[in-house]
Amino acid sequence: MSRVVRFHQTGGPEVLQIEEHDVGSPGKAEVRLRIEAIGLNRSEVLFRQGTYSTQPTFPARLGYEAAGVVEALGPGVQGLAVGERVCVLPSFRQGEYGVYADQAIVPARCVIPAPPGLSPVEAASIWMQYLTALAILEVGHATVGDYVIIRAASSSVGLAAIQWANWAGAVPIAATRRSDKRDALLALGAKHVIATEEQDLVSEVRRITGGKGARLVFDPVGGTYVTTLSEAMAEQGILLIYGGLSGEPTPFPHWTAAFKSLSLRGWVASFIWNHTERLARAKRQVLQGLAEGHLKPVIARTFRLAEIAAAHRYLESNTQIGKVVVTP
């Protein structure tokens, strides 16, 4: 028997229940893992709340990013070995499988060898953040001298975007709500920090960029603030929206976009992992970045599986800087 986290109704962290469950044997094209660490993501909070793009079927499982050891291979699985340390790419639908557990069965196509030199906690934290933030290169083509506004900069994806931007020679401008995270963000690679509840973002960006504005914006929040973001952008800039944490409709800033010839693009990391060649290229980039020290996961805090509700509360608090990870 294995401990498995499930929920039987949508709601707050308290709906998460730890249940004893026989995970069983993997089916065709599946593997069973002994889970060593689980990376938490905001999409899992939304799924638990019932506000995600897909709705849970009860009893529902959670989690799609983890590090672990292969325990068993299902029929037809090749290229993996029992005892191998691996990562789970978060490339299946929420609720289809679930890695919030001691043991989990996942599709073999989502399992890749763990990068050398990383602890299980670090290995569980990397793929969602780096593949999501890779948009600033994959779509935005950030390069030397580009100014990049990174909203929610203290999140794991925000910090990953700062690291990608620095590696590309761009200038990351971290946007965070309050100034209490300023020193930490500067220490983690941001070249400038703007506290949006205390400072005027548009005037600060104009000051930083010498009046040009930022060529790229990377935003997981959406909502009406995109109008402000667009006003801080340079001509022919690209505004990348990869989430909807505001919970509000996101307007298209028509006239600002028209006069500046801006592009507003949606983004999810599945645009990488649903395309074989793009995923192979992205994996090479991430592994190179880790090996050369350009990319380094930042762990905000770890929790035990028995504390999964507390881990979700902490993730929702927005006080963390980096990735929240759970271990058995």
Domain assignment present for 279: no
CB neighbours of residue 283 within 10 Å: 18
Task: For residues 143 and 261, state if they share a domain.
Answer: yes
Domain assignment present for 287: no
> What's the pLDDT at 1?
84
Over the chain, what is the mean pLDDT? 95
What confidence tens digit (pLDDT) does each residue in 126-165 have?
Answer: 999 999 999 999 999 999 999 999 999 999 999 999 999 9
Domain assignment present for 209: yes
Backbone phi and psi for residue 42, each to the nearest 5 degrees, phi listed first: -65, -30
Task: For residues 46 and 119, state if they share a domain.
Answer: yes
| 289, two tokens | 């970045």
Task: For residues 117 and 179, state if they share a domain.
Answer: no
Domain assignment present for 322: yes
How many Cα atoms occupy the beta-carbon half-sphere of 216 within 13 Å?
28
> At 157, which CATH number?
3.40.50.720
Structurally, the chain folds into a number of domains equal to 2
> What's the pLDDT at 243?
86
Task: For residues 11 and 76, state if they share a domain.
Answer: yes
Domain termination site, one of 270, 285, 308: 270
Task: For residues 33 and 113, state if they share a domain.
Answer: yes
Task: For residues 79 and 98, state if they share a domain.
Answer: yes
Task: For residues 121 and 154, state if they share a domain.
Answer: no
Structure-token match 């944490």, residue found: 245
Task: For residues 153 and 76, state if they share a domain.
Answer: no
> What's the pLDDT at 325?
98
Task: For residues 116 and 237, state if they share a domain.
Answer: no
Amino acid at 295: L
DSSP letter at 114? P
Task: For residues 100 and 161, state if they share a domain.
Answer: no
Amino acid at 237: G
3-class DSSP assignment, residue 138? helix
Task: For residues 220 and 316, state if they share a domain.
Answer: no
Domain assignment present for 20: yes
CB neighbours of residue 62 within 10 Å: 27
3-class DSSP assignment, residue 10? coil
Domain membership of residue 224 as a residue range: 131-270
In the predicted structure, residue 207 carries a pLDDT above the cut 90: yes
Task: For residues 266 and 135, state if they share a domain.
Answer: yes
| 212, two tokens | 């040009």
What confidence tens digit (pLDDT) does each residue in 49-108 have?
Answer: 998 888 999 999 999 999 999 999 999 899 999 999 999 999 888 889 999 999 999 999
